[in-house]
Amino acid sequence: MVLLLLMGASRWVLAGARPEAESTVGSQAAGCAWAALTCAALSLRPRTAAKVGVRGIWVGVLLAGLGGGLMLCGPAAWELLRVSGMEPSALMMALALTPVVVALAGRMEPVAGRIWPGLAAVAGLMLVLAQPSLADLRSDVALFLAPVLTGCGAVMLCSRSTQTGCAQTAWRAASALAGGALVFALCWSMAWRAGVETLPSLSATACDGVLALLSLLVLVRLGALRWSAQFALLPLLVLLQGIWILRPPLTLRWVVGLLLIAAASIYLLLPHAEEPETGPAVVPR
C-alpha cells in the first residue's frame, strides 16, 4: 500500500519532467499486458485442480478477468468514453465514493458504518477543491461509472467464487490484469483507427503496469474495503504536496476538509471483521 501511494502521488512529477510518461489508454493496455505475463510466469499452472476441478478454475479465472477489467478500467472510464477536458478534481471526488460502492456491493454490515468514510472524504474534497461542473452529459456518465465499475470489480475479485477458483495470488492477479489489458486494448485499437491514439512510450507503459500490479496485490492482501482507502489517501497526499510546495494560507475550510479526508482514510485502513488480513485465499479440502 505504501509503494502504491508513493507511486500514485508522485506520478505527476514524472509526467512533468517527461511528458511522454503521461498515462494513456495504450500505455495502460501495454502495462497491464506485461504485468499479466509477469504474474503468469510466476504461476504457470494453478495448483488447485484436484480440489476445485477444472471447471471451478475456469470460473475463477473468468470472474477474476471480469473483475480486473472493471476495477482497472473504472478510474479510466473518462478515457474509454473519450471525454475531453475531464477535471482532475471531479474525478478525485467521484473515485472517493468507491468505498461506498464497495460497502453496498459487498453487502457489508452495518451499512451506515461502512459508507460514511466515502461520504466524509467527498465532503472534505468539496471543501478544498473547486466544485466540478456537471453540464456535460458524457462527463457526468464517466464520473458515475468510475466509482461504480471500480468498486464492483474489486468486490468481484474478492468474492468467494473467485478466490476458490484462483487461490494463488499470482494466478488471480494475472487473470485480472489480462482482463484489464483486453478492455484497454479494445478501446485503444478503436482510437488508433480513428487517429486519436499513438504508440505508448516505454516509461508510461512501465509506470502503468507497476501501478496496476501493486493495486491488485494490495486488493488481494487487504480486501476490497481497506484497498479502497487509496482513493482518499491519494488526494490527501497530493494536497499535502501542494501545501508544502506552494505554501498557501490555510483557512478553517481547508483544515476541516483535510481532517475529514484523513479521518476517512484512517478508518478505511483499519482491519474490519468482514475483511481479515489473510492474504491469498485457502481452498478447503
Sign of CA dihedral 225, 227, 231, 236: positive
Q: pLDDT-derived band of residue 255, with 50, 70 and 90 as boundaries?
A: very high
Whether residue 141 contacts residue 13, with contact meaning beta carbons closer than 8 Å, is answered with: no
The whole-number pLDDT of residue 186 equals: 92
pLDDT in tens, 99-111: 999 999 988 877 7
| DSSP 8-state class, residue 110 | S
Nine cell digits for residue 109: 454490515
Amino acid letter, residue 149: L
The whole-number pLDDT of residue 49 equals: 45
Quick check: 280 pLDDT over 50?
A: no
Nine cell digits for residue 232: 482518499
Residue matched to cell numbers 458504518: 113
Collapsing DSSP to helix, strand or coil, 160 comes out as: helix
Q: pLDDT-derived band of residue 285, with 50, 70 and 90 as boundaries?
A: very low
Whether residue 105 contacts residue 151, with contact meaning beta carbons closer than 8 Å, is answered with: yes
Nearest 5°: phi and psi at 272?
A: -120, 155
Q: pLDDT-derived band of residue 283, with 50, 70 and 90 as boundaries?
A: very low
Whether residue 164 contacts residue 52, with contact meaning beta carbons closer than 8 Å, is answered with: yes
Mean residue pLDDT of the chain comes to: 85
Sign of CA dihedral 192, 196, 198, 200: negative
pLDDT in tens, 25-56: 999 999 999 999 998 887 665 554 445 556 66
Whether residue 92 contacts residue 126, with contact meaning beta carbons closer than 8 Å, is answered with: no
Nine cell digits for residue 107: 453487502
Cα(202)–Cα(183) distance, rounded to whole angstroms? 20
CB atoms within 10 A of CB 34: 18
| CA end-to-end span of the chain | 32
Residue matched to cell numbers 460502492: 101
pLDDT in tens, 174-200: 899 999 999 999 999 888 887 777 788
The residues pairing with 272 across neighbouring beta strands, listed in sequence order, are: 275
Nearest-10 Cα torsion for 86, 22, 240, 266:
80
Closest CA to 74 of 174, 220, 201, 224: 224
Q: pLDDT-derived band of residue 277, with 50, 70 and 90 as boundaries?
A: very low
Domain borders along the chain are 2-6+24-269
